[in-house]
Amino acid sequence: MYKFPKDSKLNDPKFVFGVATASYQIEGATNVDDRCPSIWDTFCTKPGAVYKQHNGDVACLHYHLYQQDVNLIENLGMDAYRLSIAWPRIIRPDGSINQKGLDFYDRVISALEEKNLTIMATLYHWDLPQYLDDKGGWLNRETAYKFAQYVEVVSSYFGDRIDFYATLNEPWCSAFHGYRDGKHAPGIADDKSGFQAGHNLLLAHGLAIPILRKNAANSKHGIVLNFNPVYPADEFAIDVANFAEQEHTHWFIKPILEGEYPETVYQHYIDVMPTIEDGDMSIISAKIDFLGVNNYSRTVIDQDGQYPNYKAVHLRDVERTHIGWEVYPDGLLKLLTDLHQTYQLPPIYITENGAAFEDKVVDGVVEDEQRCRYFQNYLSSVDEAIRQGVDIRGYFAWSFMDNFEWSEGYKMRFGIVYVDYKTQKRIPKRSALEFREYLIARRSGF
C-alpha cells in the first residue's frame, strides 16, 4: 500500500486519484461506425515508422469492452477517469456530424456517471483526421478553426456532464515529434514546420476555451502539457541547460499563461519562427481553470559546440524504465516548484505519470514491484511539492492498462492493468492492487 505522512493532502478524499488513457491507444474498432482514418492509421503503414508496424486497429478493444473497463476502474477505487475523444469519430470529411461517434462517448460517459467517477476528457490526443492532414494538418492555420468547430460539437452535446475539458494533450509532442523530428505522425522533420505546427496547435487551444466556457459553464477547462525538468551536466552547461528549458518547457507554457514566446528562443530560431497574426497571442492566452502536467523523467544537458547548441547526456548507472527513461522522482518536485516560482499558475493536476516495464504474468499474477516503487516515490514528490505551496488537486496514473505506445507499438507496457492482446483479458498488476488498497483505506479514514 502506498504510504504518505498522516497530514498529507494526498490522504484527503478531495484530492482526486484517477487513471488515464487515449482513444487511439485503446479503442481499436478503427473501421467501425463511420470513423474516419487518422494520421496515426496512415503513419503506422509507413515502413520503419512504428515497431513491427503495429497499429491501433484492435488495440485493447475498449470500443466494445468499455463497460468492463469502467467497472474495473471503479473496482480499483479510483475517483476519476481521464479519456480522450477521437476527432475522427465525430466529424466526417464533409464537415457533417457523425452521430454514431457521439453515441459511443455518450455510452462511456453514462457508464462513468453511474459509477460517480469524475470525468476528464481530452479533446485532442494526437489522432488528427487524415482528411485534414491532406490539407496540411497542423501546418495549415485553418486546422485550428476546424478544431474549434469540432469542440463546439462535442461540448454543446455533452456540456457539464464532462467535469474537466482538456483542449490538447502534449502539443510539444504533436508539434516537435510530429513535425520537427518526424518520430510521430505525420512524420515531418523540419524546424520551421515544428514551430509552425506548435503555434497553430496553441491557437486551436485558445480558440476552444471560450467555446467550452459557453457550452459547459460549470466544467473546468484547461490544457495538458508535458515537461522534462532540465539539469546541466556540469557547471559549464548551466547556460545551455537554461536555453534548452526555454525551448522545450517555456515555449508552450509561457504563451498560454503570459501571452508571449520566450525571447531568447525566438531570436535564436528567428529564421524558422512561425507566422503569427495580429491577435493570436491574446487568443492563445485565454484564461484556463487548470493545468495538466505530464512528467515521466528528466533531461540532462551538456554543451555541444558554441552556445546555445546542446545535446542530451545519457547517464550511466542510473535506474531506467523499459523505454529507457531515467527514474528520477526529484525531477518532478523541481519541475513543480520551478513552475510555481515562475508563473501565476492555475490549479494543477498531474495528468500523466507512470513507467513501462517488462511485465510478465506468472501464475495469473503480475508482480511489478519496480512500478510500485516508481509510483510511491513520484507521489512522495507530489506531496512535497504541495507542502512547498504548489496547488495540486489530483493525480492520474499513466496508464490504466497496457496499450498501443505510439512509435513503440505494443512493446512497451505502461499499464497498471496487464492486457493479454490475444485474449483481451485484463489482469490488475501489483501496482493496481496497491493503489486499490491505499484508496480504500483513504476513504475509510485509515
pLDDT of the residue at 444 = 87
As a whole number, mean pLDDT of residues 366-384 equals: 98
Task: Establish if 84 belongs to a structural domain.
Answer: yes
Q: What is the pLDDT of residues 180-199, one digit of tens each?
A: 999 999 999 999 999 999 99
Task: Establish if 2 belongs to a structural domain.
Answer: no
Q: Which residues contact 126 (CB under 8 A, 6 or more apart)?
A: 22, 24, 39, 40, 169, 170, 173, 174, 178, 184, 185, 406
Task: Establish if 284 belongs to a structural domain.
Answer: yes
Query: Which is it for strands 310-312 and 299-303: parallel, antiparallel or unpaired?
Result: antiparallel
Residue 445 has pLDDT above 90, yes or no: no
Task: Establish if 257 belongs to a structural domain.
Answer: yes
Q: Which domain holds residue 332?
A: 9-443
Which of 27, 170, 247, 384 is catalytic? The answer is 170
Residue 14 has pLDDT above 80, yes or no: yes
pLDDT of the residue at 262 = 98
Q: What is the pLDDT of residues 49-96, one digit of tens each?
A: 999 999 999 999 999 999 999 999 999 999 999 999 999 999 999 999
**Summary mean pLDDT of the chain:** 98
As a whole number, mean pLDDT of residues 383-401 equals: 98
Which of 27, 245, 247, 352 is catalytic? The answer is 352
pLDDT of the residue at 66 = 98
Task: Establish if 3 belongs to a structural domain.
Answer: no
Q: Count structural domains, the chain.
A: 1
Residue 446 has pLDDT above 80, yes or no: no
H or E stretch covering 198 = helix 191-215
Query: Which is it for strands 392-398 and 16-20: parallel, antiparallel or unpaired?
Result: parallel
pLDDT of the residue at 288 = 98
CATH of the domain at 67: 3.20.20.80
For residue 73, give the C-alpha cell: 476502474
Residue 354 has pLDDT above 90, yes or no: yes
Cis (ω within 30 of 0) for the bond into 380? no
352 is catalytic: yes
Task: Establish if 17 belongs to a structural domain.
Answer: yes
Q: What is the pLDDT of residues 248-277, one digit of tens each?
A: 999 999 999 999 999 999 999 999 999 999
Task: Establish if 253 belongs to a structural domain.
Answer: yes
Could you tell me which of 254, 246, 248, 243 has the C-alpha nearest to residue 227? 248
Task: Establish if 356 belongs to a structural domain.
Answer: yes
